[in-house]
A and B are shown apart, each in its own frame.
Chain A
Amino acid sequence: AQSVAQPEDQVNVAEGNPLTVKCTYSVSGNPYLFWYVQYPNRGLQFLLKYITGDNLVKGSYGFEAEFNKSQTSFHLKKPSALVSDSALYFCAVRSPYGGATNKLIFGTGTLLAVQP
């Protein structure tokens, strides 16, 4: 069965510093990986995805993520954090098998707090 782990409940970073939000996964075959962001009292917004190809994926708002197959990780990164990046971040995985019926499995989320 597929699963996602986000080992940090919260990440604190100063504005202007680089940030990393960690994600590891477990799935049969080559995974499809996603990052979503959730602001207070809002739904999730798609940031980026890895399907195949280049291990470094660029997404919205200056975020990027690096797929590492040997470490089964897909960490989210940004070179310079903004206070407005403060939000809840979810990693999700989908198995390559099963077509459209195969659902996304979400991690428990990591709260990113960027201090001014």
Chain B
Amino acid sequence: EAGVAQSPRYKIIEKRQSVAFWCNPISGHATLYWYQQILGQGPKLLIQFQNNGVVDDSQLPKDRFSAERLKGVDSTLKIQPAKLEDSAVYLCASSLDPSRNQPQHFGDGTRLSIL
């Protein structure tokens, strides 16, 4: 099966600019996650979708971050305006059924550098 696809792989922007990341999960996976992985740390969940509904966005900085999954498949994560501390790898993951502890499948991430 095809894995989780993310684009772009790398992005460099200046602070206060905006940026968007795209994710296409594994076909049939209803649950989609966005994580932020800062260098030297484990992934931190930003937002979790179940189909096109938000399940958990408690750690999403909503003043600058937004995410959507309009048709319950692809998802976009946006940052506007970016800050220096947003430099990180943004990982998208999907899961068939997390309530049954099905594993999460990760994309290769987008590495964001803020100048």
- Report A-chain residues with C-beta under 8 Å of the C-beta of B106: 36, 43-45
Instruction: Count residues of chain B with CB under 8 A from any CB of chain A.
Output: 26
Given contacts A43-B93, A101-B55, 17 further A-B contacts (CB under 8 A): A41-B108, A42-B109, A43-B4, A44-B91, A45-B106, A49-B101, A90-B42, A100-B31, A100-B50, A103-B45, A103-B48, A103-B56, A106-B44, A107-B42, A109-B40, A109-B41, A109-B42
B104 beta carbon closer than 8 Å to chain A:
yes
Is B43 interfacial (CB-CB < 8 Å)? yes
Choose from B41, B98, B109, B111 the contact partner of A100 (Cβ within 8 Å). B98
Interface pair B93/A108, CB less than 8 Å apart: no
B33-59 interface with A by 8 A CB criterion: 40-45, 48, 50, 55-56
Against B, the Cβ 8 Å flags (1 = close, 0 = not) of A50-72 are 01000000000000000000000
**Is B45's CB under 8 angstroms from A46's CB?**
no
Given contacts A43-B4, A43-B91, A101-B56, contact A51 B101 (CB under 8 A): yes
CB closest chain-B residue, reference A48:
B103
Q: B30's closest neighbor in chain A, by CB?
A: A100
Nearest 8 pairs of A and B residues by beta carbon = A43-B106, A106-B42, A46-B103, A100-B99, A44-B106, A100-B98, A103-B45, A43-B108
Chain A residues near B108 (CB-CB < 8 A): 41-43
Contact for A49 among B50, B97, B103, CB less than 8 A? B103
| Contact of B29 with A by CB under 8 A | no
Judged by a CB distance under 8 angstroms, whether B105 is at the interface is yes
A94 within 8 A of B: yes
A19 to B86, CA, bound (A): 35
Question: A95 CB to closest chain B CB, in angstroms?
Answer: 12
Q: Does B107 contact A (CB under 8 A)?
A: yes
Q: List 26 A-B contacts (CB under 8 A).
A: A32-B101, A36-B106, A41-B108, A41-B111, A42-B108, A42-B109, A43-B4, A43-B93, A43-B108, A44-B43, A44-B93, A44-B106, A46-B103, A46-B104, A46-B105, A49-B103, A100-B50, A100-B99, A101-B56, A103-B56, A104-B45, A106-B44, A108-B40, A108-B42, A109-B40, A109-B41
